[in-house]
Amino acid sequence: MIMSGKPLVITSGLFICLVFVAGFSFFNANLAVSQVPVGDQNAAKAAPAAQTNQATVESQKSVEDSNDKLTALNPSGTVQVDAANKRLLVKGRVVLREGQLEMLACPRQTKEHESIIAVDAPAQLIHAGLLALGAKTGTGVKFQPKFQPPTGEKLLINISWKDAQGKDHKVSAQSWVRNATRRYFVASLPKIDEELKFPEESGLIWDNRQKELLWYGHMTQEKKAELKKTVTDPRLQASIDKFFNDSQFAEMKADFVFVGSLFEADPDSGKQRYLADGGDLICVANFSTATIDVATASTNTGEDLLFEAYTERIPPVETPITLEIQLAEATAPKP
């Protein structure tokens, strides 16, 4: 999907407007953030109430909340800046554990049906927080005339949460995403002339017209061995081996980059709107409207989505989580 719009450049004036809504002011050329205590009641009264899942906020009394160097970007404290460590903390909850993905995370009440996490803040505020840390925006994916993957400053994203026993956990965002297995795997075999027949329970499908062998989903070692006993043609055996290798669970390896999304005039009101607020906050399928995207070719076409939720690694739906988004350069070893 390509949406029209111009590359997002947040000027100091526009950025001040953004943080003013959240009860903030920015003073220097680097957009350093003035300190406002998390949960400040006066700030909460002075600014509009954010769309926040209060249960999420109250239940997330984790280690970062005790850090007096954190700065809240909104009255509810769901987005916090740790300027010293160049990281952004964003609170949300698990909303999906199974199925193909377009997003790792979306703003609440947008794209929960294809995102693992819904965060309690607009995408525009996360963008503002990254600018405050000194992050540089890149360019969104381009599909025409030639595909160009998204570019931007590399980000390290971790997810922290407490389990039912109160134990703390922290993992990389990539560990919750795996290569898609809930799809058809295809082997083209144009030199096979005969029409092949496979029992329905085998799971193999032969398309004689297209000369393609198909398999759906994850293949176990046992199933591979069983199928290879039923065929003698080495081309079919090689296809089964390929299906097995391609359908194994594999953690996503792609890096996340700060793209920056787009502004576009609303056709009805004429007012500028930040397009990632519609859901495209942290994408694992390429969208030109993404705030944060994966730095690899990843289709956003329904049946061909490349990634899915790594179900076994994700805590129950409604579990409160904190996203820790950090500039990769801030973690690099000093020369």
Is the pLDDT reported for residue 12 higher than 90?
no
Quote the pLDDT of residue 299.
58
Q: Which of 75, 119, 145 is nearest to 323 (CA)?
A: 119
Q: What DSSP state is assigned to residue 306?
A: -
Quote the pLDDT of residue 222.
97
Quote the pLDDT of residue 203.
95
State the Cα–Cα distance between residues 59 and 204, nearest whole angstrom: 48
Q: 4-18, 57-71, 152-166, 185-199: which range is least confident on average? A: 4-18
* Letter string b/e over residues 91-128, b meaning 16 or more CB atoms within 10 A of that residue's CB: bbbbbbbeebbbbbbbbbebbbebbbbbbbbbbbbbbb
pLDDT band at 143 (very low <50, low <70, confident <90, very high): confident
User: Residue 271 CB: number of other CB atoms within 10 A?
Assistant: 7
Quote the pLDDT of residue 40.
32
Quote the pLDDT of residue 140.
78
More confident residue, 20 or 163: 163
Quote the pLDDT of residue 332.
67
Give the angle subtended at the CA of 321 by the CAs of 49 and 179, to the nearest 5°.
125
Quote the pLDDT of residue 301.
58
Q: What is the mean pLDDT of residues 136-142?
A: 83
Q: 62-71, 188-197, 302-311: which range is least confident on average? A: 62-71
Report pTM: 0.73
If you search the block for the tokens 């700030």, which residue do you land on? 43
Q: Which of 9, 18, 313 is nearest to 172 (CA)?
A: 313
On whether the CB atoms of residues 282 and 157 are closer than 8 A, the answer is yes
Give me the residue spans of the domains in the chain: 71-179+252-327, 184-247
pLDDT tens-place string over residues 114-130: 999 999 999 999 999 99
On whether the CB atoms of residues 279 and 26 are closer than 8 A, the answer is no
State the Cα–Cα distance between residues 239 and 242, nearest whole angstrom: 5
Quote the pLDDT of residue 3.
38
State the Cα–Cα distance between residues 251 and 33, nearest whole angstrom: 36
pLDDT tens-place string over residues 30-55: 333 333 333 333 323 333 333 344 44
Is the pLDDT reported for residue 96 higher than 90?
yes
